Amino acid sequence: MNSLTVKSPAKLNLHLRILSKRPDGYHELLTLFHRISLADTIAIRKISRGFKLTTNISLLETGEGNLITRVYRALQKRFPEMGGVSVRLNKRIPLGAGLGGGSSNAAFFLLGMKKLFRLKISPKELFAMGRKLGADVPFFLLDAQQAMAWGIGDELQKVPRGTPLWFLLLMTDQGLNTKKVYQSLSWKGRALSLTKEKRIARILRSFLARKRTREAATFARNDLELPAFRLMPAIPKAMAVLKGLEAPFVRMSGSGATIFAAFSSRKEALDLSKRLKEVPFPFRKVICHSF
């Protein structure tokens, strides 16, 4: 095998609670990750030596700061005999969108390289590499459509997804910086119980599995919404429009800026998308489903 192409799906945070602030500046959290069909593609081709990364996004760094490049450097160090690769990344997931695009790219490039070069690397070592790259990377390495995560997002438990859901995403190319969102988080020293929040997330997941989105919405939270609202006032305005049109489950994903509405059917998502045509909107609409 000289080449392969892998899909690199996005994720939504259906639920996100910040539990406490750690002495090292990081935050303990609890989230419910959910893979969706919006995806980038990564084409990997063997070359005699060296590394080359190209992409369809001119603003995306392809040098040493890119997570795909960092994965290759780590593998090169671990497997010195490994050959070179040419990588073409075709992005559909926006940058700074709260959809985990960069983390997904890193994880699926790592899995693709393992397969292409038949690298002898254990799941434990894969996850250790993932944790060093970013908190969301382990979820994408996990063979799961949905998972509950805690710690800094790297402690994972597979969660049955149930019946697939449909989503209307509102996306913008004006992304939010995750670090700035966390820095804007008003922290009053409160600490939430991990055990209690896990129980709430399981109840939420149970409602979603049965397509009872309206009941699930009463339990769903995202503690990063308020700081994101301060940085991008268009987000709460758009969310208010969706709720005003009676979307049953509306949240922001991750640290933003993507907003999503969850539905039990494609028809419901399409109907709302059509109704939004009458509203002046600074967001791009995308319909997708559970992946």
* pLDDT value for 288: 98
Domains, the chain, in order of start with CATH, read 3-158 (3.30.230.10), 166-289 (3.30.70.890)
Catalytic residue among 11, 40, 91, 223: 11
* Banded pLDDT at 188 (limits 50, 70, 90): low
Q: Is the pLDDT reported for residue 189 higher than 70?
A: no
| Mean pLDDT computed over 59-82 | 94
Catalytic residue among 40, 91, 136, 223: 136
Report the 3 state secondary structure along 148-206: EEEECCCEEEECCCCCCCEEEEEECCCCCCHHHHHHCCCCCCCCCCHHHHHHHHHHHHH
> Is 136 tagged catalytic?
yes
The string of pLDDT tens digits covering residues 116-133 is 999 999 999 999 999 999
* pLDDT value for 232: 94
| Mean pLDDT computed over 179-185 | 89
The string of pLDDT tens digits covering residues 75-109 is 999 999 999 999 999 999 999 899 999 999 999 99
The string of pLDDT tens digits covering residues 267-290 is 999 999 999 887 667 789 999 999
Residues 6+ apart with CB under 8 A from 190: none
> Is 11 tagged catalytic?
yes
Average pLDDT score over the chain: 93
Other Cβ atoms closer than 10 A to 253 = 26
Q: Is the pLDDT reported for residue 60 higher than 80?
A: yes
